[in-house]
Chain A
């Protein structure tokens, strides 16, 4: 930058700095983005520490505790005639003293800090464990699509010619398919597969693993599989562009081999863009997971996911709106903070690019 008023000596002795350092420096001045990063860091910590900060048993049902609320939630509950009871720590119910008005049963003690759902499961525990699902999906689906898309695009772009042509026509063809229908089809397929319990070999191992993971594994595959297309296109475009840059020619001129050119010269220069493009898709992945779980094609019960929790809550929303709040707030805040980080200056929109497929609207709208 021109305004850098360093002396000649300072210029020589100052530390070298990479492009990454510059951008980190820029980010620090953006409070909204920094605040969002702090929130996401907390979310990661909460997800990691889930067994320690919650009861740990997200599947535990207690009919005594169905729809229980904390006393501070009562003002929020719809009014009804029936008097509430209080569920104490040992599970016994007592009539409240004073004039607590409300429908739901009030819970005391340290369990159920956010109340209970229709089956008497702890909302706090489920929300905290739900964060795990959302974050894992965000991480793994984006990694799957990043790795697949990048490798595909690198191959296609660097090999060029007929191979490139065929590989890209294939991508175009898949692009023409309605995204949602493909995801639903593959999820239904995987769900049908995962009902198979007796089988052998690698396939069954994957199915068992998926079932042990609460159905998350197949969701990674379904979401990751349909999302690598855009990235493959971008990678290929970038490779084609960089293949003709002077520094790649320079590397060729000094006798660098193909592997070195691709991995030392091309990949490091496009990986930043690719990661940015991929992170822009992360809110979409989180929404897709929530959407699939909402329609019953996501994680298997009783694994908690914000989408399933919202779907359950939406069914009883007129009487028990408190069930809706924890997963809704968690999902919205996560999406919001991601948006703040991903967009320029915190509130501007990320650069619009026609090659980046817009997030399907059944999810965002």
Chain B
């Protein structure tokens, strides 16, 4: 077992590496770069060049990739001030930053006078302090974000992943709690009203996409009935400390915020789980070993719980792996509809923004979670079906 896990983890390394390489070069292949646009205006060429040099984007691709993976002298900067403190006016090739005029194509001037905000984005933040060099992915450092230049990719993930993970885990929990019992009931009472009801609801569940269900839930439960608030999460980071270590955490508030997004996600998951459980349960309870169990006089509940259930959960476990990985890393649509600051949006925005480090960071995170959850699934298999040996 231990050997199996070690071998699997070693086997992940080439997979993760190739995912990283292909994602990196694929995102590089997309025309355009991270500094092409600030807002909707384009930057002067000189500024773009400076920025690209700063982030080593002028290096050849393979060198960028290796330095990204194993670390290099690339300095990560952090801004000292909030961006809002600065007044900037752009006029032709001149910029007036807090009263200082500087030429946009002049590096020295830029370096002396702080940062420039162009089109609402920081394009060159010199009032920064170096907080260390990029350590490389192998040391857990995912590098600086090209777009959110006050933050590193690690910062962004730390900020947004916990919320997405909570949302995802609650949804899976809802899916398991509703879906599996519904599937079992439907299978055990096949062709009764319970079965039809459960399967009908399940078909509805997979047919209503979250982009429809979410707004509908908002209209009904937030707008018309006014039961639940929308937009915002009922807890503040650091979540674990605030929720479990601080006395007096408002759980009611937490769940009233969580319930609509969790239901939006959880309905579809329950439906999928219910269908899978029903189908496999129906198949299992027709097997000879179940008939034998009944024939030898076992109580029906023992037959179902001890003999049938474990086997019928295998399909559910199979999809649980990829499902968990994709839910925990954020569900863009639900987060957008409910106005939650989750990781989901970065999967799309990072690619649109050509924020290469963030693209790689999110993809790697997803890939790692995927292989880990698949490993977990394999271990679950062995537990559910002792014939499966982990070798």
Contacts and interface: CB of A to CB of B under 8 A. Distances in A.
Do A's and B's CB atoms come within 8 Å in the complex? Answer: yes
Interface of A: 78, 173, 176-178, 180-181, 184-185, 188-189, 192-193, 195-196, 283, 287, 290-291, 294-297, 307, 310-311, 313-314, 317-318, 321, 324, 328, 331-332, 335-336, 338-340, 343, 347-349, 351-352, 354, 358, 360-365
B30 A360 contact: no
Contacts of B209: 287, 290-291, 331-332, 335, 363-364
Given A283-B207, A331-B209, A360-B326, A349 B278 contact: yes
Contact of B212 (A178, A310, A321): A310
Given A352-B280, A365-B327, A332 B269 contact: no
Given A331-B212, A352-B280, A193 B207 contact: no
14 contacts: A178-B363, A189-B29, A311-B211, A313-B215, A317-B215, A332-B209, A347-B196, A348-B279, A349-B202, A352-B276, A361-B322, A363-B209, A365-B210, A365-B265
A181 B346 CA distance: 11
A313 B327 CA distance: 24
A184 B348 contact: yes
Given A339-B206, A349-B278, A177 B22 contact: yes
A185 B207 contact: no
A246 B162 CA distance: 58
A296 B336 CA distance: 12
B386 interface: no
Contacts of A349: 199, 202, 275-276, 278-279
B144 interface: no
Given A176-B15, A181-B23, A310 B326 contact: no
A352 B348 CA distance: 30
B268 A181 contact: no
Interface string B263-297: 00100110010011011100000000000000000
B357 interface: no
B319 A358 contact: yes
5 closest Cβ contacts across the A-B interface?
Answer: A365-B268, A349-B275, A336-B207, A335-B207, A328-B212
A358 B333 contact: no
B110 interface: no
Interface string B38-81: 00000000000000000000000000000000000000000000
A339 B219 contact: no
B135 to A, nearest CB: 24
Contacts of A358: 272, 319, 322
A314 B351 contact: no
B279 A352 contact: yes
Contacts of B207: 283, 332, 335-336, 338-339
A361 B212 contact: no
A365 B363 contact: no
B27 interface: yes
Contacts of A176: 15, 19
Contact of A343 (B196, B203, B211, B336): B203
Contact of A328 (B204, B215, B218, B351): B215
A178 B332 contact: no
A294 B203 contact: no
Given A180-B326, A365-B331, A189 B203 contact: no
Contacts of B337: 314
A294 B363 contact: no
Interface residues of B, number: 63
A361 B326 contact: yes
B366 A181 contact: yes
Nearest to B275: A349
B27 A185 contact: yes
A307 B341 CA distance: 21
B237 interface: no
Given A176-B19, A332-B209, A365-B210, 6 more contacts: A185-B27, A188-B30, A188-B351, A324-B215, A324-B219, A352-B315
B370 interface: yes
A330 B278 CA distance: 28
A316 to B, nearest CB: 10
Contacts of B148: none
Q: Which of A180, A184, A295, A331 has its CB near the most chain B CB atoms (within 10 A)?
A: A295
Contacts of B214: 314
Interface string B18-37: 11001100110111100000
A218 to B, nearest CB: 13
Contact of A290 (B202, B211, B269, B318): B211
Contacts of B367: 178
Contacts of B326: 178, 180, 360-362
Contacts of A336: 203-204, 207-208
A13 B26 CA distance: 64
Interface in B163-213: 171, 196, 199-200, 202-204, 206-212
A332 B26 CA distance: 34
B333 A294 contact: yes
Given A188-B352, A352-B279, A361-B269, A291 B203 contact: no
B216 interface: yes
Contact of A189 (B30, B204, B215, B363): B30
Given A184-B348, A283-B207, A361 B199 contact: no
Contacts of B272: 358, 361, 364-365
Q: Which of B272, B278, B280 has its CB near the most chain A CB atoms (within 10 A)?
A: B272
Contacts of B171: 365
Contacts of A295: 332-333, 336, 348
Interface string B312-344: 000100110011001100011100110000001
Contacts of A311: 211
Contacts of B265: 365
A317 B351 contact: no
B284 to A, nearest CB: 13
Nearest to A323: B215
Contacts of A184: 347-348, 351
A340 B206 CA distance: 11
Q: Which of A184, A343, A362 has its CB near the most chain B CB atoms (within 10 A)?
A: A362
Nearest to A363: B209
Q: Which of B15, B336, B351, B366 has its CB near the most chain A CB atoms (within 10 A)?
A: B351
A283 B206 CA distance: 10
